[in-house]
Amino acid sequence: MRNVSRETNQFTDDIISCDRRNLDQVTEMLTRLEELVNIHLEAEKHKFIYQDDKMLEMYQTVQENGLEQLQKLANPWLIQLLNRPPNMPMEEETQFLDRVSAIMSHLCGKVAHGPSTTQFTFNNIGTVSIHETTYTEAEIGFQTWGAGILLSKILDEEELDVKGKTVLELGSGTGLAGLVCALCGAKSTWMTDYHPTVLDNLERNVKLNNLEDKIVVKKLDWRTCLDPEQQDPSLKETEFDLVIAADCIFDFEHSRLVPKVSMHYLSKKTEARFHVVITYRLKFKLEVAQFEENMLKEGWTIEKTRYIERHAIAFRYSVYKR
């Protein structure tokens, strides 16, 4: 009899050793993942009530936390594929990325729910409304990640005081932390990202919270923004007292670029600081380690750092100075 629990465990082992540069390996893993996700979702939906006895036996082998297990390990792997797919002809890449996005959406339940508006309530500033899109529309920036929520709480509790300061947020995503900066009294907040749909959604969330007079939304592509000929003049001319970022390391390219981009835009004032919250995920362990090493190589000094655990997820909040 087919044992779905055993297959799920085997898949989570195989995904760690899968070579993301090998298209054949990746394609095989995607096919296995699609099938496993469908089985787990079907089992959850119908609670093992099936007419076919053989199907009933198979679904009885689905462990209760199997879908969580797949989400925990497969989501970071899928994000990496979106950021850097295997080499393939250009005409095939779009179809490949659509497939990865669809699997990710299905795994996260976004196909059923679609775009939605979520309200986050904080002790001091009250409620912030966030419109979230889908993976298919906005890739990584589709939802508010845990590190962004944690950074927002740090802002609300005034451990990070932004009153009267000019703030630049890198990789804003849905924009929660940037919105909280504005509500906490920042002089001006610049929210940045590179994906067109993410930028449109940031504008939407600014309007949703009536913060048009306090927030600027700008495109900032880390891969090109250090080129003098491609720099946005308004960003270049603005002196940022604070640079903030949350969950900004999903790839070795991010590990290399974030230290450079944050150094480039942060004011040279002695009190200027870079605040960053990183989620510690097994899949991105090497990327995060490389980021921390590159920060020191670029001349950053750690002023303070602490580990925070929320719902069995580990985060590191660090403050860097020049």
Flag the least confident range among 114-118, 161-165, 228-232, 289-293: 114-118
* 222-245: average pLDDT: 92
pLDDT of 318 > 60? The answer is: yes
Nearest to 103 by CA among 21, 15, 26, 31: 31
Q: In the block, which residue shows the tokens 């009530």?
A: 49
What's the pLDDT score for residue 60? 55
In this prediction, residue 314 carries a pLDDT of: 86
Residue 59 pLDDT exceeds 60: no
Average pLDDT over residues 253-260: 96
Quick one: pLDDT band at residue 49, thresholds 50, 70, 90? very low
In this prediction, residues 119-145 reach a mean pLDDT of 72
C-alpha–C-alpha distance, residues 26 and 21, integer Å: 8
Predicted pLDDT of residue 115: 67
Beta strands 273-279 and 242-246, pairing class: parallel
Distance between terminal CA atoms of the chain? 61
pLDDT at 47 over 70: no
Confidence at residue 134, expressed as pLDDT on a 0 to 100 scale: 56
Confidence band, pLDDT 50/70/90 cuts, at residue 139: very low
| DSSP-assigned states of every residue in 198-257 | HHHHHHHHHHHTT-TTTEEEEE--TTTTTSTTT--HHHHH--BSEEEEES--SSHHHHHH
Residue 43 pLDDT level (bands cut at 50, 70, 90): low
pLDDT at 1: 66
Residue 127 has pLDDT above 60, yes or no: yes
Element containing residue 131 per DSSP (H, E): strand 126-132
The pLDDT of residue 109: 59
Q: What is the pLDDT of residue 57?
A: 52
Count CB-CB contacts under 10 A for residue 314: 12
The answer to whether 305 and 317 have CB atoms below 8 angstroms apart is: yes
Alpha carbon of 156 to those of 100, 125, 211, 228, 246: distances in Å?
36, 7, 16, 36, 15
Of 218, 176, 210, 160, residue with least CA distance to 193: 218
Could you give the maximum distance between any two Cα atoms of the chain, in Å?
Answer: 71
| Per-residue model confidence (pLDDT) at position 141 | 45
CB 173 within 8 A of CB 304: no
